[in-house]
């Protein structure tokens, strides 16, 4: 009985490029797959963290723009929690 070699999932360059282009267009729903190991896993995790942070910042700036621009509450401050 032979044991089949397990193949570790890798990050596809096309997938990374597609995700980067979507992110550049402001699509904060894009994510790279989890469960990758080594450098591919670190790249995917870092990319996903950056997208999540930008999504939170975008929502916070929208909230702040509403509070200051429409409601005149100039004492509001932006609050963006740090990443875990």
This prediction has a pTM of: 0.74
In the chain, domain spans: 38-73
**Cα distances (angstroms) measured from residue 8 to each of 11, 37, 41, 56:** 10, 8, 11, 32
Summarised one tens digit per residue, pLDDT across range 35-63 is 999 999 999 999 999 999 999 989 888 88
Q: 32: how many CB neighbours lie within 10 A of its CB?
A: 21
Quote the tokens at residue 58: 């975008």
Inter-residue contact 32 to 15 (CB < 8 Å): yes
Query: How would DSSP label each residue in 15-52?
Result: HHHHHHHHHHTT-TT----S---HHHHHHHHHHHHHHH
Summarised one tens digit per residue, pLDDT across range 10-19 is 999 999 999 9
């Amino acid at each position: 009985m032979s044991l089949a070699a397990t193949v570790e999932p890798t990050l596809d360059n096309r997938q990374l490029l597609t995700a980067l282009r979507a992110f550049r267009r402001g699509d904060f729903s894009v994510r790279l797959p989890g469960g990758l190991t080594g450098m591919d896993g670190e790249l995917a995790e870092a990319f996903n963290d950056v997208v999540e942070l930008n999504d939170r910042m975008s929502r916070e700036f929208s909230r702040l723009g509403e509070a200051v621009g429409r409601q005149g509450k100039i004492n509001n401050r932006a609050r963006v929690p740090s990443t875990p």
